[in-house]
Structure formats: C-alpha cells, structure tokens
Structure 1
Amino acid sequence: MSVRFWDPDGTTYGIPTYPLRLAPQGLATRRQLRARGLRPGGQEVAAQLLWRHRRGLGCAYLYRIERAKPVRPMTPGRWRAHEAMMRPRRTCSVCRRDVGYVLRTSLGTCEPCDRTRTAGKD
C-alpha cells in the first residue's frame, strides 16, 4: 500500500485522500457514477484518489453514492442543443459539408479534401 497518499482524515491534502484502488465503499468517481446511471447532483467532493502518473500525479475526485441523483433524461431540446454543438466539429472547413463524423483536429478537413490537398504537395 502506498502510504504517501493515505490521508483518510484530510490533514495533509485538505480532503480525505486515498491511494488508487483503496477508496472505501460508498464512494465513486464521476465515471463510476455514470456507469450506474447516476450523477453527483451538486454534492461536494467527498474525497480524492491520488496516484503516481508518468506525467506527475493523477487525481480523481470521489462522490458519495447515496447522495447521487439519477441522470437526467435527454429531452428533445437537449438533443437539439447537442446536435448544434457537434455540427461544427463535423463540418469540413474546405468543402463545408457535414461529413457525419467528428473530424480529426490535426487535419481540420474531411478525408477526401485532405487527400486532394496532400496530392498536390507530392
């Protein structure tokens, strides 16, 4: 066990802190809550997980499962807003078509336009 990140009373890190995979029962990350069909629902962070990461420290916040609320269903208005938000990410900057998939940010264009553009560079 990594003693470095074991701080269940929060004296060192300000909130209860546990090493990766050693959080007590009843706490979950946002992803774990979502997998159960729940959301934090406005509650404060109950604890955190810390672990060594190749780029420094990894951190994940934990929430109390019993205080979590069900995920809100997607209404037609929310679906429209989601579509409007995603449309620019699917629109090619060259041919201005909605290609039906999220474009790679490294290209910024659809595959046919990228092939046409790179063919002229050979």
Structure 2
Amino acid sequence: MGRGYVRFWDPDAERFDIPTWPWKLAPSHLKTRDQLVEMGLRPHQPPAGQVMWNNKKLGVRRAYLFDVALAGPPKARSAAQVASLEAARRRRRICPTCGREQAYYLSTALKECTTCADGLEAAA
C-alpha cells in the first residue's frame, strides 16, 4: 500500500471525523451522491464516510459516501415546482435580441441565439 493510501486509511474514524478510505478502496455498500443518482436513489441521511485522494493541482480532495441501504427514491415534485422548472427552461431558450424561442438552450457565453450572434439577421 502506497504512502498516499496509508495517509487516508482511517475506517475507524480515529484521525478524521468520519470513516475515511483512499480512492477506490471504500466498501461496496457506500456510494457517492452521483452514483446514487445513477441508481435512481437519493441520500436521505448524513454521510456515512468519505473517500480522500491527492490532486496535484487542487490538493487533497474528498467525496462523501452514503449507505445504499438507507438511500431512497427522490422526493416527488409538486405541480408548482414542475411548472416553475418548465418556465425556467423556456426562458433559457428565448433570445433577448430577436425574442424568438429556439429549439435549444442559448449559450451562456453568447447570451443570444446563434443567428443573432453571427449577425445573419442584419446581413439579410
């Protein structure tokens, strides 16, 4: 086991606040939030552990782990929440320059549709 692995090996939570494992050595019943979402589940409990690793550019990184047995399905959205999300998605498709709704989300860098950004409307 390498030095980095020994540094983060603490399954009994003696050095860190919660049980800690090095990258890729956590027990199989503990998953990250993204892994739970891929399984169609959401964590409904505090983290049961963490995975830590070194990143050359960012330093020590961590990912919290949740017990699969305690995870459940996502909470149902209310009708008002669904309507609000649909309205927000629609606003992201409306070009502020020409006012037309596009079939795609507008670029956050351009902040307008590709036709307006290229200047094709003015050229025509």
Per the normalisation by structure 1, the TM-score is 0.80
Aligned in 2, Cα 1:14/1:93: closer, same or farther, shift over 3 Å?
Answer: same
Aligned in 2, Cα 1:109/1:49: closer, same or farther, shift over 3 Å?
Answer: same
Aligned in 2, Cα 1:56/1:90: closer, same or farther, shift over 3 Å?
Answer: farther
- Partner of 2:99 in structure 1? 96
Shift of 1:83: 0.9
- Partner of 2:90 in structure 1? 87
Aligned in 2, Cα 1:13/1:92: closer, same or farther, shift over 3 Å?
Answer: farther
Shift of 1:74: 5.6
Return 5+ residue gaps in structure 1 as ranges: none
**1:69 aligns to 2:72 (yes or no):** yes
Aligned in 2, Cα 1:110/1:29: closer, same or farther, shift over 3 Å?
Answer: same
Amino acid at match of 1:84: A
User: Which deviations, in whole Å up to 9, do the C-alpha atoms of 1:92-114 show, x marking residues without a partner?
Assistant: 22122221322221111111011
38, 43, 46: which one aligns with 1:44: 46
| C-alpha RMSD of the superposition | 2.3
SS at match of 2:21: strand
Return 5+ residue gaps in structure 2 as ranges: none
Aligned in 2, Cα 1:112/1:47: closer, same or farther, shift over 3 Å?
Answer: same
Amino acid at match of 1:68: A
**1:108 aligns to 2:107 (yes or no):** no
SS at match of 2:37: helix
User: Which deviations, in whole Å up to 9, do the C-alpha atoms of 1:9-56 show, x marking residues without a partner?
Assistant: 223221111111111121111111112211112x11111111222322
Distance 1:46 1:75 in 2: 30
Tell me the number of residue pairs that the alignment of Structure 1 and Structure 2 aligns: 118
